[in-house]
């Protein structure tokens, strides 16, 4: 596989990661990221202009995915903390009901 084909494959996998993330299928996104990582390591510094443009698209998609993942992580943390609070309140209610 030449460098242009490699970059095209990387962009395709990146788009698959983007699709998985949009469906909140984080396990699939992680699997695809693991598949993509070794390919990224085989990129050479010398690239054709078209390949460089695809690499820029990959970088832009990655940046957007990272931002979305951080937002999702924060939202999940907030939901988790709220659920813990509700569980503690229910436990306290049951404890008081036994008295």
Full-model pTM: 0.78
Predicted pLDDT of residue 86: 96
Residue linked to tokens 């390949």: 51
Tell me the pLDDT tens digit for each residue of 27-73.
Answer: 999 999 999 999 999 999 889 999 999 999 999 999 999 999 899 89
Predicted pLDDT of residue 1: 78
Predicted pLDDT of residue 99: 83
- Exposed / middle / buried, residue 81 (Cβ in 10 Å: 0-12, 13-18, 19+): exposed
Secondary structure letter of residue 43 according to DSSP? -
pLDDT greater at residue 99 or residue 22: 22
Predicted pLDDT of residue 25: 93
Residue 19 to residue 14: CA distance in whole angstroms:
9
Side-chain-side CA neighbours of 98 within 13 Å: the count stands at 6
């Amino acid at each position: 596989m030449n460098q242009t084909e490699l970059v095209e494959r990387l962009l395709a996998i990146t788009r698959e990661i983007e699709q998985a993330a949009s469906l909140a299928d984080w396990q699939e996104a992680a699997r695809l990221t693991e598949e993509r990582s070794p390919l990224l390591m085989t990129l050479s510094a010398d690239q054709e202009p078209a390949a460089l443009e695809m690499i820029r698209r990959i970088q832009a998609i990655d940046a957007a995915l990272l931002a979305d993942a951080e937002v999702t992580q924060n939202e999940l943390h907030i939901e988790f903390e709220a659920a813990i609070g509700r569980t503690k309140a229910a436990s306290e209610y049951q404890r008081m009901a036994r008295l």
